[in-house]
Chain A
Amino acid sequence: DGGITQSPKYLFRKEGQNVTLSCEQNLNHDAMYWYRQDPGQGLRLIYYSQIVNDFQKGDIAEGYSVSREKKESFPLTVTSAQKNPTAFYLCASSGGPLGGKNIQYFGAGTRLSVL
């Protein structure tokens, strides 16, 4: 089945620790995104990537880092510089900016909490 796989489902971070959230897609999509969701708020864009080896900051990139070494994979690292990391993290992908449709499809999410 084609889709987006996020892991782990739950993650706990200790003070001063970096943690990495995994996102893999087998939809052959060019573009991938990371969003953060907090209660009562809309999804906020952290980073996005239109193509391998290229990525751009979103609205709330501070304290986060990403890489895009393969088309299928877009891992997100939450660094110790992110002082309020507790949130639900969503990865999405889309067919890319070209063409008529640019629907984003989402993974099941990773819930990150601070110990």
Chain B
Amino acid sequence: EDQVTQSPEALRLQEGESSSLNCSYTVSGLRGLFWYRQDPGKGPEFLFTLYSAGEEKEKERLKATLTKKESFLHITAPKPEDSATYLCAVQALYNFNKFYFGSGTKLNVKP
């Protein structure tokens, strides 16, 4: 069964304390993996897309990596404004319109 699992469900960090969020997936052929940021009561905001194992993307304090079974979102020296829920989604190769979403990791960065 195709699915996406994110861990941990929630993460509390002190400002400046680096960490990683995990997205593990099982899908019959990966077309792409997507990371989104979602603030409370808002729609998801696109961050990164990764297409093949070994690929990495960076944006400010965030870095996303991809292997054949999972993706990591590394957060370096986070700030309180990085607090949000981070969603991972995978797109199946066999169905362009099928995106499987994880339930997200809620990140709270304390000053």
Contact = CB atoms under 8 A, between A and B. Distances in A.
17 contacts: A33-B97, A33-B99, A40-B9, A42-B4, A42-B87, A43-B87, A43-B89, A45-B98, A97-B96, A103-B46, A104-B46, A104-B89, A105-B46, A106-B36, A106-B46, A107-B43, A109-B41
A25 interface: no
Contacts, number: 56
Contacts of A56: 97
Interface of B: 4, 9, 31-32, 34, 36, 41-46, 49, 87, 89, 91, 96-104
Contacts of B4: 42
Interface string A33-48: 1010000111111001
Contacts of B45: 106
Given A41-B103, A43-B87, A101 B41 contact: no
Contact of A111 (B31, B41, B49): B41
A14 B102 CA distance: 31
A103 B46 CA distance: 8
A35 B4 CA distance: 16
Interface residues of A, number: 26
Interface of A: 4, 6, 31, 33, 35, 40-45, 48, 50, 56, 90, 97, 101-109, 111
Contacts of B46: 103-106
